[in-house]
Amino acid sequence: MVVPSRKLQDLIEEIREAKTQAQEREVIQKECAHIRASFRDGDPLHRHRQLAKLLYVHMLGYPAHFGQMECLKLIASPRFTDKRVGYLGAMLLLDERQDAHLLITNSIKNDLSQGIHAVQGLALCTLSTMGSAEMCRDLATEVEKLLLERSPYVRKKAVLTAVHMIRKVPELSDIFLPVCAKLLHERHHGVLLGTITLITELCERSPAALKHFRKVVPQLVQILRTLVTTGYSTEHSISGVSDPFLQVQILRLLRILGRNHEDSSEIMNDLLAQVATNTDTSRNAGSAVLFETVLTIMDIRSAAGLRVLAVNILGRFLLNSDKNIRYVALTSLLRLVQSDHSAVQRHRPTVVECLREPDASLSRRALELSLALVNSSNVRAMTKELQGFLESCPVDLRADCASGILLAAERFAPTKRWHIDTILQVLTTAGTHVRDDAVANLIQLIGGAQELHTYSVRRLYSALAQDISQQPLVQVAAWCIGEYGDLLLEGSCEETEPLQVEEEEVLALLERVLQSHMSLPATRGYALTALMKLSTRLHGDNNRIRQVVSIYGSCLDVELQQRAVEYSTLFRKFDHMRCAWHSATAEDPNSCPLPKVPFWVQGAQPHYTLLLQSEPPIHSSLKLSWLPNLGHLGTSNCVPP
């Protein structure tokens, strides 16, 4: 018995009237049961209606796989109403993962051979949507014949199907090469646009096709010139721009044909200059055409003046009120900065202004371009701008901005002092966001600039006294204070403001770092080692340092505990050497008449492993980062054990 069938419109109304999702599921489940019963009973008159309802259910996200075979039956039907729904169902329900799609190959082949244009269009649409590689190979000959069909409707569908075939099976390129040259003479917009797309696909996938179609560059130039000057068809004009979709597609094809080819580039140079100067950018369609023109100019071997014109167009895009256009301009300039650095450099002020954009994507692109524009001549000005941006930029951009400033300073620093100041500024502003190697790099830089030791230790001491939350800054400051603490206490530095520091103040600051809950274990290690270094740099009583060091002998952190225990051992067993060292270095810093202590040092600055022989022997390795300069101990006293 045939189950009564209701119309698709009635089903849609009932589904929309459902109050809850459960009610909607109930309606759909009942209807799917009716559809299954109808398919099982084999109702030929209402099969297309049942499948149409099933496709609607499928678009709502419910399973509809049981209708795949019904699609094949409808496609094989002689009625157009059945074929239309059958082909639509095949496009929605079938793909290469189902074996059933191979069963419709013969039906598509038969329909392509018929003279009914509507049926041919349905078959071509289905083939271009879900055709597998096997189907493309089997039906390539039929599609090639339809490329020369009298009906523009069929030719357009056949061209788009050929594009799909080339993407699926690139070796089919040779079949469509001869036909494409004839289709370039088309006046129908859809056929010509599809032909340009097909030629683009062929050129991208076949070097032979690329060489073949370079002969038609003059013809493409003429088509584009006609579009720019007189227009192609008024119904395809958008906002006063004649057929922008076709213009964009031709420009993309010219970009491929002119790349690394002098003759083709020479033919299209004048046309590109004409398009670049005459296109109206007050509308989005004109901006799209102009943007594709700029990309084409940059990709081919164009004249130098034309490339400068293209960069200037992108510079004008940066002033556009549309955020999308500004983003596209920044992205394009970032691509061009390596090949046309001087031309892009002229738009540096505008790029810097884009750093202040509230849109995150725009500010990120502007940051990348600003960092790419830094060179030896503008490093001071650009770094100042970037540091200002670093102070107020979003958190997700701080790491990139800080890393970019550090890299630029490392490459283009005019002086060591400027380099040190720049790194200190970055550490002060965004210390927690810098790269892991920033601390080691700054320590190495300060250690190698002997004339700046006093300046560096004073700057770092002042910065540490103001803020101990930026861990990389605290680590560098602790190292520098421990290494050059004597320079901090004595003398003056003309390059900094007068600073009077007492020994107690220095020790109190390092103790504050050790006690701060913000200090990382590594930072406490730097501070503890700095205190140990100061025991040889300062001339006061070392009992305070000894007490602080002994406290960390029971620290839960193994590294800090090991350091504290080893430093306490040095205090206890070798403290008698300190007086001789002080008296010797006071007279001559380069001499140190210490008794010969058998030890050896392995490792590189700033971390040594010092092994001592003593009674009783010290069996552990002392990681004495407080001993960066062996000259202070007198290398003449270093003898192997």
Does the pLDDT value for residue 18 go beyond 50?
yes
Q: Could you tell me if 533 and 549 are in contact, meaning their C-beta atoms sit under 8 angstroms apart? A: no
Check the CA dihedral 15-16-18-24 and report its sign.
positive
Mean pLDDT, to the nearest integer, of 27-46? Answer: 85
Residue partners of 448: CB distance under 8 A and separation at least 6: 416
Burial of 96 (0-12, 13-18, 19+ CB in 10 A): middle
Per-residue tokens: 345? 């450099």
Provide the phi-psi class of 18: left if phi over 0, else alpha when psi is between -120 and 50, else beta.
Answer: beta
CB-CB contact of 456 with 492 (8 Å): no
Sign, Cα dihedral of 396, 401, 402, 404: positive
Residue type, 473: L
Alpha helices in 117-188 (DSSP H): 117-130, 133-146, 152-168, 173-183
Of 58-72, 152-166, 384-398, 569-583, the range with the lowest mean pLDDT is: 569-583
HSE-CB at 258 with a 13 A cutoff on CA atoms is 28
Whole-number pLDDT of residue 381: 93
What are the C-alpha distances in Å from 412 to residues 380, 415, 639?
A: 9, 9, 43
pLDDT for 639 = 33
Tokens of 413: 């620093």
Q: Is the pLDDT at 321 greater than 70, yes or no?
A: yes
Tokens of 490: 């004595």
Residue 431, pLDDT above cutoff 80 = no
Q: pLDDT tier at 4 (50, 70, 90 boundaries)?
A: low
What is the tens place of the pLDDT at every residue in 75-124? 988 899 999 999 999 998 887 776 666 788 889 999 998 888 999 999 99
At 139-184, the pLDDT tens digits run: 999 999 999 888 899 999 999 999 999 999 998 888 888 888 888 8
Residue 278 has a CB neighbour count (10 Å cut-off) of 11
What is the identity of the amino acid at 341? H
SS3 for 449-493, per residue?
Answer: CHHHHHHHHHHHHHHHHHCCCCHHHHHHHHHHHHHHHHHHHCCCC
> Lowest-pLDDT range, 5-14, 507-516, 539-548?
539-548
| DSSP H stretches of helix in 230-375 | 244-258, 262-278, 284-299, 304-317, 323-336, 341-345, 348-353, 360-373
SS3 content of the chain, % helix, strand, coil (to 5): 70, 0, 25
Q: Specify the range with the lowest mean pLDDT, choosing from 436-450, 494-508, 583-597.
A: 583-597
Q: What number is the average pLDDT over the span 128-137?
A: 89
Residue 47 pLDDT class (50, 70, 90 cuts): confident
